[in-house]
Amino acid sequence: MMSVANVKDNEIDIVIGALHADLTSFMNAWKPLFSRFHLIIIKDPDLKEDLKIPQGFDLDVYTKSDIDRVVGPSVSGIFSGYSCRYFGYLISRKKYIFSVDDDCLPAKDSKGFLVDAVSQHITNLATPATPFFFNTLYDPFRDGADFVRGYPFSLRSGVNCALSCGLWLNLADYDAPTQALKPGQRNSRYVDAVLTVPVRAMVPISGINIAFNREAVGPALLPALRLSGEGKLRWETVEDIWSGMCVKVVCDHLGLGVKTGLPYVWRNDGSDAIESLRKEWEGVKLMEQIVPFFQTMRLPQTATTAEDCVVEMAKLVKQQLGSVDPVFARAAEAMLEWIKLWKAVGLRSSSPAVQK
Amino acid sequence: MMSVANVKDNEIDIVIGALHADLTSFMNAWKPLFSRFHLIIIKDPDLKEDLKIPQGFDLDVYTKSDIDRVVGPSVSGIFSGYSCRYFGYLISRKKYIFSVDDDCLPAKDSKGFLVDAVSQHITNLATPATPFFFNTLYDPFRDGADFVRGYPFSLRSGVNCALSCGLWLNLADYDAPTQALKPGQRNSRYVDAVLTVPVRAMVPISGINIAFNREAVGPALLPALRLSGEGKLRWETVEDIWSGMCVKVVCDHLGLGVKTGLPYVWRNDGSDAIESLRKEWEGVKLMEQIVPFFQTMRLPQTATTAEDCVVEMAKLVKQQLGSVDPVFARAAEAMLEWIKLWKAVGLRSSSPAVQK
């Protein structure tokens, strides 16, 4: 296990959005890695059955009634499906959050050793990122690596890393068309690398296996873009992709870093991709608008916090995309609503965020 | 071995700059990979001893007298030391060039198989690059990989790849201060990835193990920045780093791609880094000027070829850096001189470039 300098276990919340009622095998598989940490489990408000969770964890479970109580029933709809996890981001009081989909298990590395995804994410976040110049040997702060010849010394201290995006073995995070075209394709390539995504390079950040510095960019991870036909399969959603664009722009603006690569998780096989095809094209078509919009976005210098940035972004979404598709106008509203929530819940944070 | 669609062996020149007289072990180690290809060996004009080259290769050797004959004795000084290889780039008539330092041997991958560096480079060059959006599963054109969810379909055809930068096992390409600080550090991490460096992200491109599309960007790989105390060790040079900045800017401007990652080569241990320390700081200090200069450089739309771009860059170097350090004024001159040479030698290209 790698050393995670200066980060204590109680600075980390693990947030699980429960889209499946029976979490027994999921939790048991993660037990060696999760048992030291506090867990926040949010039950998808649309899920009817009671959750099944094994003993032996330090955890709090939040259901629809908890969500309604904290944010009010008129707002709670933003937390359905995969977006339920954002409620966990909202009520956590910890510096770091790790979140993983409930259909993923711990992966093994190319030598067969169990991957400690929590430690790897925290190492990614606790060591500097290098967005202003590309290092060809990947993360220079990993053991055995360094800055290559030609890397300016003035940039070698790097910047704070705010977001760490992990990857997936077995079933990779493809969209439904790709999955339907190559139903047998599985990812077996373990790439032993972490790298900083360069400043102003846009990246499709998957929410499947992700960690972030909540204090730095928490408000920028938000439930905003909901497809009209959104379902309960990852490839039927783009909420995390939208959220990822937001947080990347915020990081670029605030001088923070985004890393991608390790750690991997093992992603179990999903359902029939062909059934999802009709729904997915909505998200695929929207990406053609979303990517150039975020690529050219510039935030005003007056925006100095993640909250400021999201408010400014919401204005731009409304102005530039609001008339393109109603889904964008709703996203802009949701972003503003989210920042109000974030501030309101934050004000209550001297006591525990939610009285259970 | 991977398939390299539509590239014939006779479209490739392998260019070796000979800084060491005895190439026997080098050539024999590479024989399984090199014997199908035409080789161009340029003897460092400063090297006194005769070259020792084993039999069994299709090759042409060029020495100081050949260089003098082609470019004239007043210009031939630009081809000393590591820069001798650029003479090979100049006289080649092939579409693709692979060049590797003569202290490198073929590497083995993490499973112990010999790495076919030539095929991997050509695959990198012959498949599209994706500079306009980052793919978290690295090169989507590799077997078993694809574009991840959220990647815009309109960007999935990619662009032509013009440059492929390989990496190094054992002795990595660090600068002398890093090498002196960590004399025992060796790179043993085999990262099984190729990725496109995003547009406008600057990268320190090493010339140790490199391939490129000569037709597309050949004129932008050039001998221009020569340190006053430049020696015969890689860490005493930045000529390739400068050249790499030039070619990255050209690629960004012309809509071409740059890839980095595989293939690795095995780099033999070098000399005493501490002895080089005094010299290297010159290059290290210059990088602090070079990087922001290239990061902010914008070329005019009228520059539509690599030659045009280099001429425009040379003007900017002279204007913006010429008064900072005489080394930059000389680099600007060398860039203009290089384009003249490139055009003149190109005009003679209906017949073989050099009558031996």
Residue B356 has a pLDDT of 47
Residue B355 has a pLDDT of 46
pLDDT digits (tens, 9 = 90+) for A333-350: 999 999 999 999 988 764
Residue A83 has a pLDDT of 96
Residue B276 has a pLDDT of 64
Residue with tokens 């260019």: B15
Residue B234 has a pLDDT of 83
Pairing label, strands B161-170, B58-62: unpaired
Dist. CA B322–CA A140, nearest whole Å: 32
Q: Supply the CATH number for residue B155's domain.
A: 3.90.550
Of A147, A175, A200, the CB nearest to B200: A200
**Number of residues in chain B:** 356
Could you tell me if residue B171 is inside a domain? yes
Best interface-test mutation with B: which of A110, A133, A136, A149 has the largest number of B CBs within 10 A?
A149
**Confidence band for A184, pLDDT divided at 50, 70 and 90:** confident
Residues of B in contact with A190 (CB under 8 A): 192
Please indicate whether, in this complex, the C-beta atoms of B134 and A203 are within 8 angstroms of each other.
yes
Of A187, A200, A238, the CB nearest to B137: A187
Residue A303 has a pLDDT of 98
pLDDT digits (tens, 9 = 90+) for B4-53: 668 999 999 999 999 999 999 999 999 999 999 999 999 999 999 999 99
Query: What's the gap in Å between the CA of A355 and the closest CA on chain B?
Result: 38
Residues of B in contact with A165 (CB under 8 A): 136
Answer whether residue B103 shows pLDDT above 50. yes
Residues of A in contact with B146 (CB under 8 A): 172, 174, 178, 182, 185
Query: What's the gap in Å between the CA of A157 and the closest CA on chain B?
Result: 14
In chain B, the percentage of residues whose pLDDT exceeds 70 is: 93
Could you tell me if residue A116 is inside a domain? yes
pLDDT digits (tens, 9 = 90+) for A299-322: 999 999 999 999 999 999 999 999
Residues of B in contact with A234 (CB under 8 A): 149
Domain residues for the domain of B181 are 10-347
Residue A162 has a pLDDT of 98
Q: Work out the angle at residue A140's Cα, subtended by the Cα atoms of residues A139 and A146, and round it to the nearest 5 degrees.
A: 145
Could you tell me if residue B356 is inside a domain? no
Q: Which of A75-84, A212-221, B296-305 has the lowest mean pLDDT?
A: A75-84
Residues of A in contact with B193 (CB under 8 A): 191, 193
Please indicate whether, in this complex, the C-beta atoms of A288 and B153 are within 8 angstroms of each other.
yes
Could you tell me if residue B352 is inside a domain? no
Please indicate whether, in this complex, the C-beta atoms of A150 and B200 are within 8 angstroms of each other.
no
Dist. CA A182–CA A178, nearest whole Å: 6
In chain A, the percentage of residues whose pLDDT exceeds 90 is: 81
Looking at residues A251-255, what average pLDDT do you find? 98
Please indicate whether, in this complex, the C-beta atoms of A204 and B149 are within 8 angstroms of each other.
yes
Could you tell me if residue B25 is inside a domain? yes
Please indicate whether, in this complex, the C-beta atoms of A148 and B201 are within 8 angstroms of each other.
no
**Confidence band for B177, pLDDT divided at 50, 70 and 90:** confident
Count of CB atoms situated within 10 Å of the CB of B350:
8
Answer whether residue A353 shows pLDDT above 50. no
Pairing label, strands B104-106, B257-267: antiparallel
Instruction: Tell me which residue of A245, A200, A247, A199 sits closest to A221, measured CA to CA.
Output: A247
Of A144, A174, A260, the CB nearest to B188: A144
Dist. CA B89–CA B217, nearest whole Å: 11
Residues of A in contact with B147 (CB under 8 A): 174, 178
Answer whether residue A296 shows pLDDT above 90. yes
The more confident residue out of B279 and B96 is B96
pLDDT digits (tens, 9 = 90+) for A194-218: 999 999 999 999 999 999 999 999 9
pLDDT digits (tens, 9 = 90+) for B242-286: 999 999 999 999 999 999 999 999 998 877 766 666 665 788 899
Three-class SS state of B188: coil
Could you tell me if residue B3 is inside a domain? no
Of B148, B174, B238, the CB nearest to A172: B148
Of B136, B174, B175, the CB nearest to A204: B136
Looking at residues B190-198, what average pLDDT do you find? 98
**Confidence band for A277, pLDDT divided at 50, 70 and 90:** low
Residues of A in contact with B191 (CB under 8 A): 138, 191-193
Q: Measuring CA to CA, how many Å separate A40 from each of A2, A130, A355, B24, B132?
A: 24, 31, 14, 64, 37
Residues of B in contact with A150 (CB under 8 A): 175, 204-206, 238, 241, 244, 287
Please indicate whether, in this complex, the C-beta atoms of B148 and A206 are within 8 angstroms of each other.
yes
Answer whether residue B321 shows pLDDT above 60. yes
Total number of domains in chain B: 1
Please list, residue by residue across B70-101, b when 16 or more beta carbons sit within 10 angstroms of its beta carbon and e when fewer do.
Answer: bbeeebbebbbbbbbbbbbbbbbebbbbbbbb
Query: What's the gap in Å between the CA of A90 and the closest CA on chain B?
Result: 25
Could you tell me if residue B271 is inside a domain? yes
Answer whether residue B308 shows pLDDT above 90. yes
**Confidence band for A1, pLDDT divided at 50, 70 and 90:** very low
**Confidence band for A356, pLDDT divided at 50, 70 and 90:** very low
Answer whether residue A239 shows pLDDT above 80. yes
Dist. CA B203–CA A195, nearest whole Å: 13
Please indicate whether, in this complex, the C-beta atoms of B167 and A136 are within 8 angstroms of each other.
yes
Amino acid in the structure at residue B87: F
pLDDT digits (tens, 9 = 90+) for A36-78: 999 999 999 999 999 999 999 999 999 999 999 999 988 888 9
**Confidence band for A2, pLDDT divided at 50, 70 and 90:** very low
Please indicate whether, in this complex, the C-beta atoms of A185 and B134 are within 8 angstroms of each other.
no
Question: What tokens appear for A154 in the block?
Answer: 């003035």
Q: Which residues pair with residue B61 across a beta bridge?
A: B41
- What backbone torsions phi and psi does residue A184 show, to the nearest 5 degrees? -90, 0
Average pLDDT taken over every residue of chain B: 93
Please indicate whether, in this complex, the C-beta atoms of A287 and B173 are within 8 angstroms of each other.
no
The more confident residue out of A128 and A182 is A128
Please indicate whether, in this complex, the C-beta atoms of A192 and B188 are within 8 angstroms of each other.
no
Residue B77 has a pLDDT of 87
Of B155, B173, B284, the CB nearest to A153: B284
Residues of B in contact with A270 (CB under 8 A): none
> Under 8 Å CB-to-CB from B43, ≥6 apart: which residues?
B18, B51, B61, B62, B63, B64, B84
Could you tell me if residue A3 is inside a domain? no
Q: Which of A97-106, A182-191, A265-274, B143-152 has the lowest mean pLDDT?
A: A265-274
**Confidence band for A176, pLDDT divided at 50, 70 and 90:** confident
Residue A276 has a pLDDT of 63
